[in-house]
């Protein structure tokens, strides 16, 4: 099989494609990122200040990954960080430790469930092999950039990798650059080769079922939640790749001659069946038994700890936001017009400086984008209900100048939501 040589026109087309991609990326909206506070889903009575997580009442019989201790410690740490409660993890709790007539506390109890599976097997793919100094270098480079596995044919003259759009574009660019450097040996690629490799499919999950019970003059369960998180990944073992069927150039030539002579060659079906047999595992990895739980060596070194932390954080998130006010990072688009220095300050996270820059402009000379960015500056640095009211007023000023701009209307909508939440927040946070 032959490939058409890369021409300067084709190389220019590749450069134009890459330039277009980067230009479009550069024109993406610029965002201002800032923290906002959200109210809890339910309002816990203010007299509830102390919360005890009862480790002895959190069932862990189905906690196959052993997450209970880490999950409870993380729950206590996050609730303490948010400041609404004083939280501790305890193995026992005696109600005579507090006066139910004068004090109200809360108890968290429930169940932790976790587990996972690892499935191993063998798969087949097709790879195209490239020869010559330039071809081999460009193929290896493309495979490295796109994290593909390469193999070398039995003659060790060709580098083989699977086809993919990103890798193919990269290889074209590298080949063109090498051709300009004089490394453009004309060696046509082989036909596709069949390769096999081993893989692992990993899955991990965690689930927490918690209740929040108030104990004082009355006993009442205020919240019950069941939340879960999962993680999955398919890992290809690059060291296991090897070719099982190669079609060298001489075989292609002989095949062409045989085809021209119309001499029947048998048994063609047997060859295909043999190939299918070689590309599949010869033994059962797991019989009637359940798939095993992933171990420390089933994930790359150091990654399992990060995955477990992610599972714990996602599992706890909804329960925490149900009982406690919380803070999140949000992003809002910065208007591209108006005073450029103010937009730069918003992008850098300096909302107060952006306010000063725009407020120095006389109101009659402010454009719609100036009014919008001023509202965004107030929104990003808001510490009171009045700040959100000012931000909403500035957004409305921008919208009156350009009623068709959706960006301005989005600002009005965001601040309307914040204002609706401030009364609930004030009630939940009042000392």
CATH number corresponding to 31-35+325-429 = 1.25.40.10
Q: What is the pLDDT of residue 430?
A: 65
Q: Do domains 31-35+325-429 and 38-115+201-230+303-323 have the same CATH topology?
A: no
31: its two tokens: 């965002």
- Could you give the CA distance from residue 186 to residue 174 in angstroms, rounded to a whole number? 15
Q: What is the pLDDT of residue 173?
A: 58
Cβ atoms of residues 205 and 228 within 8 Å: yes
Higher pLDDT, 132 or 328: 328
Sorted by where each begins, the domain ranges of the chain are 31-35+325-429, 38-115+201-230+303-323, 118-200+236-278
Question: What is the DSSP secondary structure assignment for residue 364, as one 8-state letter?
Answer: G
Distances (CA, A) of 234 to 16, 128, 198, 294: 35, 23, 11, 13
Higher pLDDT, 283 or 91: 91
What integer is the mean pLDDT of 410-427?
88
Q: What is the pLDDT of residue 234?
A: 85
- Could you give the CA distance from residue 243 to residue 251 in angstroms, rounded to a whole number? 16
DSSP string, 29-97: PPEEEEEEEE--SS---TTEEEEEEEEEEEE-TTBTT--HHHHHHHHHHHHHHH-S-EEEEES---GGG
151-152 vs 158-161, strand pairing mode: antiparallel
What integer is the mean pLDDT of 184-189?
52
What integer is the mean pLDDT of 8-29?
47
pLDDT band at residue 209 under the 50/70/90 scheme: very high
pLDDT digits (tens, 9 = 90+) for 97-152: 677 778 899 999 999 999 998 888 888 888 888 877 767 777 787 777 777 888 88
Strand partners, 110: 58, 210
Top-tier CATH class for 38-115+201-230+303-323: alpha beta
Residue 406, pLDDT > 80, answer: yes
374: its two tokens: 């001023």
pLDDT digits (tens, 9 = 90+) for 380-402: 988 888 999 999 999 999 999 99
225 alpha-carbon distance from chain centroid: 25
Classify residue 200 as exposed, middle or buried by CB count within 10 Å of its CB (0-12, 13-18, 19+): middle
Question: What is the DSSP secondary structure assignment for residue 292, as one 8-state letter?
Answer: P
pLDDT digits (tens, 9 = 90+) for 224-241: 999 999 999 888 888 889
Q: Which of 229, 388, 256, 421 shows the shortest CA–CA distance to 313?
A: 229
């Amino acid at each position: 099989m032959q490939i058409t040589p890369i021409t300067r026109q084709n190389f220019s087309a590749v450069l134009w494609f890459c330039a277009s991609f980067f230009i479009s990326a550069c024109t993406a909206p610029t965002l201002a990122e800032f923290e906002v506070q959200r109210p809890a889903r339910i309002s816990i009575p203010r007299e509830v200040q102390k919360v005890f997580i009862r480790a002895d009442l959190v069932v862990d019989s189905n906690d196959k990954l052993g997450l209970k201790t880490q999950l409870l410690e993380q729950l206590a740490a996050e609730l303490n960080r948010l400041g609404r409660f004083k939280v501790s993890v305890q193995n026992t709790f005696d109600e005579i430790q507090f006066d139910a007539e004068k004090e109200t506390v809360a108890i968290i109890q429930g169940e932790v469930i976790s587990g996972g599976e690892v499935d191993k097997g063998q798969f087949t793919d097709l790879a195209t092999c490239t020869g010559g100094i330039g071809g081999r270098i460009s193929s290896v480079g493309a495979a490295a950039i796109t994290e593909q596995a390469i193999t070398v044919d039995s003659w060790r003259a060709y580098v083989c990798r699977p086809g993919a759009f990103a890798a193919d574009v990269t290889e074209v660019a590298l080949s063109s650059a090498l051709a300009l450097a004089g490394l453009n040996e004309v060696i046509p690629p082989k036909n596709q080769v069949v390769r096999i490799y081993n893989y692992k499919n990993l899955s991990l999950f965690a689930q927490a079922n918690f209740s929040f019970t108030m104990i004082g003059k009355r006993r009442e369960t205020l919240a019950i939640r069941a939340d879960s998180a999962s993680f999955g990944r398919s890992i290809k073992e690059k060291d296991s790749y090897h070719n099982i069927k190669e079609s060298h150039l001489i075989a292609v030539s002989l095949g062409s001659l045989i085809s021209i002579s119309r001499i029947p060659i048998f048994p063609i079906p047997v060859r295909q069946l043999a190939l299918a047999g070689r590309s599949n595992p010869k033994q059962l990895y797991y019989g009637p038994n359940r798939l095993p739980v992933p171990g420390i060596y089933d994930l790359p070194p150091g990654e399992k700890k990060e995955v477990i932390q992610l599972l714990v954080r996602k599992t706890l998130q909804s329960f925490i936001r149900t009982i406690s006010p919380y803070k999140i990072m949000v992003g809002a688009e910065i208007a591209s017009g108006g005073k450029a220095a103010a937009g730069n300050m918003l992008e850098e996270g300096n909302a107060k400086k952006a306010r000063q820059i725009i407020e120095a402009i006389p109101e009659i000379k402010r454009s719609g984008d100036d009014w919008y960015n001023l509202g965004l500056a107030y929104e990003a640095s808001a510490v009171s209900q009045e700040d959100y009211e000012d931000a909403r007023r500035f957004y409305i000023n921008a919208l009156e100048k350009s009623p068709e701009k959706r960006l301005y209307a989005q600002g009005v909508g965001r601040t309307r939501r914040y204002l609706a939440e401030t009364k609930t927040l004030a009630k939940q946070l009042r000392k």
